[in-house]
């Protein structure tokens, strides 16, 4: 079998292999979509292919017209080849915790447009100007929405590629997605300005607000330089014309698995090998967990795709934010960080194996049920208890989804404030004694212990990349495994770091938690084996 338009015509082979096929004619759908586009999406990553494209596929299978024109704005041929090498088709491999596999060919993608090519750039702009296009979505990771930074002087400055676009005007193409969306919306405005909804499906807080701010900031700069007039700015700021709802998405889609590739080869596929020639691994298949959540703020301008009939939840903004807070600050992300740091130190190779480790499962359990759950907000659409039951019994324990702790440990300094600081802040607001917190101080101490670059056996260990790597290296410079107390100067340096609200979301010294973190850090580094011993002692 081959994952191509010609290959899927061998329906008997696919049926015998237990692989579902699109319930619509792929070729005719693509022909019609050129004249009747509805949905433009930026980014060809695994989350899009396993979840967003699957929902569109389900709609098309019900004869509900929402095909997707895919767009890539950066010069990254690898991600484009994931789909173009297979005639825009993807194979979704859902991996259940009970060993079940769900295999489906996804055929809702009707084009793969690269705006780095002049013809592709014009096609993208023409699509966004088309009055039938009602939705523009993106999965480009959180950094794709960042257009600049604020310096120590408080002044905002655009990143170089955005600055070039700001000074060149909307007629010039860019590899920055936010610039391209702003250009497309300007073309739409000049073509009559049909209402449109712009949605981020990336996993970060208030993603719709970030999307709106980035696009509107670029447009405002064009206005200041005289490239666009104020009517465009007014149109872009009118939510009845251009809506930017928030969304919350949750579905684990790790890198392609060699075990899955081997399984597909055994089924008879001849083109499912993992390709490493573009840097990172790419494949025609996406291995993913079966559970999934997508909440979308029900605030659309113009037509709304009925995604609620294929798995999404349309709700109000506050429910989206409550669900996000539950997931990010209590029920998933903090557990991921705790398991990732401890697993790296203890040499546990995957998150599912960590959940099979009695001490690490106890750490995760105390973190959630003792430290965090008492102050979490219930979003009602899914209760924290329901979410956690699924997480602990099906998701984190899924051996078919061996997520790499080192991957999750990347950029930890950027995650601590939201994943742990929010719970501490909520506890303070609730009048809770912070001395009751057991696992959170331990995880913060584990972060310091992890940055030593020495595992619990006393051997050198490679830490995952972190934007604060230079500062962290200086912080732990000269610290090794020893039961000797740190010099007072080094202790003061660490206390200063623990007081950094930009890292932790609160000043640990101001609330008296710095002493407990330092105490635990001392225990964790006292000797080989001290990490496991300390975890066992603290969360028993």
Give the Cα separation of 458 and 463 in Å (integer): 14
Do residues 1 and 14 make contact, with C-beta atoms less than 8 angstroms apart?
Answer: yes
Instruction: Calculate what percentage of the chain has a pLDDT beyond 70.
Output: 99
Do residues 198 and 207 make contact, with C-beta atoms less than 8 angstroms apart?
Answer: no
pLDDT at 284 over 70: yes
Give the side-chain half-sphere CA count within 13 A for 14: 19
Q: Which of 290, 315, 340 is the last residue of a domain?
A: 315
- Of 341, 538, 330, nearest to 448 (Cα)? 341
Which residue in the block uniquely carries the two structure tokens 């790597």? 469
What integer is the mean pLDDT of 247-267? 94
**Number of domains observed in the structure of the chain:** 2
Q: Mind listing the pLDDT tens digit for each residue in 270-279?
A: 999 999 888 7
Residues 372 and 393 in one domain: yes
Threshold 0.75, pTM exceeds: yes
CATH of the domain at 467: 1.10.1040.10
Which range is most confident: 96-105, 247-256, 406-415, 439-448?
A: 439-448
Q: Mind listing the pLDDT tens digit for each residue in 299-325?
A: 999 999 999 999 999 999 999 999 999
Residue 326: per-residue pLDDT:
93
- Of 325, 538, 318, 539, nearest to 425 (Cα)? 325
Give the side-chain half-sphere CA count within 13 A for 400: 20
Residues 151 and 215 in one domain: yes
CATH of the domain at 165: 3.40.50.720
367, two tokens:
């973190």
Residue 77: per-residue pLDDT:
58
Residues 298 and 374 in one domain: no
Residue 388: per-residue pLDDT:
95
* Domain-embedded: residue 2: no
Q: Mind listing the pLDDT tens digit for each residue in 400-411?
A: 888 889 989 999
Q: What angle do CA 45, 51, 52 make, to 5 degrees?
A: 80
pLDDT at 329 over 70: yes
Residues 307 and 413 in one domain: no
Helix or strand run (H / E) with residue 247: strand 247-250
């Amino acid at each position: 079998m081959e994952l191509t338009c010609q290959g899927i015509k061998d329906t008997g082979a696919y049926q015998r292999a237990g692989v579902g096929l699109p319930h619509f004619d792929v070729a005719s759908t693509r022909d019609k979509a050129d004249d009747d586009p509805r949905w433009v999406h930026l980014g060809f990553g695994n989350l899009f292919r396993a979840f967003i494209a699957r929902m569109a596929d389900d709609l098309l299978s019900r004869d509900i017209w929402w095909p997707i024109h895919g767009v890539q704005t950066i010069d990254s041929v690898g991600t484009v080849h994931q789909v173009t090498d297979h005639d825009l088709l993807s194979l979704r491999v859902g991996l259940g915790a009970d060993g079940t596999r769900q295999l489906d060919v996804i055929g809702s993608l009707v084009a793969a447009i690269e705006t780095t090519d002049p013809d592709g750039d014009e096609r993208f702009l023409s699509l966004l100007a088309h009055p039938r296009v009602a939705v523009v979505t993106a999965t480009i990771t959180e950094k794709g929405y960042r257009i600049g930074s604020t310096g120590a002087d408080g002044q905002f400055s655009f990143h170089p590629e955005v600055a070039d676009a700001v000074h060149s005007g909307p007629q010039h193409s860019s590899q920055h997605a936010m610039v391209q969306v702003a250009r497309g919306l300007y073309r739409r405005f000049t073509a009559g300005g049909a209402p449109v909804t712009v949605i981020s499906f990336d996993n970060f807080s208030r993603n719709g607000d970030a999307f709106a701010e980035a696009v509107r900031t670029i447009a405002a700069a064009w206005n200041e330089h005289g490239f666009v007039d104020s009517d465009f700015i007014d149109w872009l700021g009118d939510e009845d014309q251009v809506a930017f709802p928030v969304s919350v998405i949750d579905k684990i889609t790790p890198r392609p698995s060699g075990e899955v590739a081997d399984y597909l080869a055994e089924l008879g596929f001849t083109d499912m090998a993992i390709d490493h020639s573009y840097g990172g691994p790419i494949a025609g298949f996406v291995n993913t967990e079966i559970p999934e959540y997508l909440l979308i703020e029900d605030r659309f301008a113009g037509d709304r795709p009925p995604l609620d009939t294929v798995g999404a939840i349309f709700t109000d903004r506050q429910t989206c934010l409550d669900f996000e807070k539950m997931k990010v600050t209590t029920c998933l992300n903090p557990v991921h960080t705790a398991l990732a740091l401890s697993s790296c130190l203890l040499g546990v190779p995957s998150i599912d194996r960590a959940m099979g480790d009695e001490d690490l499962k106890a750490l995760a359990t105390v973190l959630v049920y003792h430290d965090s759950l008492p102050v979490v907000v219930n979003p009602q659409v899914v209760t924290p208890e329901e979410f956690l039951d699924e997480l602990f019994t099906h998701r984190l324990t899924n051996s078919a989804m061996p997520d790499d702790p080192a991957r999750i440990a990347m950029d930890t300094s950027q995650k601590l404030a939201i994943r742990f600081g929010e719970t501490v802040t909520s506890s303070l607001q609730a009048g809770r004694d912070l001395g009751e917190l057991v696992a959170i101080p331990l995880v913060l101490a584990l972060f310091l212990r992890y940055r030593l670059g020495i595992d619990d056996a006393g051997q050198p260990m490679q830490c995952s990349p972190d934007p604060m790597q230079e500062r962290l290296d200086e912080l732990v410079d000269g610290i090794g495994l020893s039961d000797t107390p740190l010099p007072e100067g080094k202790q003061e340096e660490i206390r200063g770091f623990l007081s950094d609200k930009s890292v932790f979301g609160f000043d640990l010294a101001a609330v008296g938690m710095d002493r407990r973190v330092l105490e635990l850090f001392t225990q964790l580094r006292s000797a080989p084996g001290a990490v496991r011993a300390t975890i066992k002692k603290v969360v028993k």
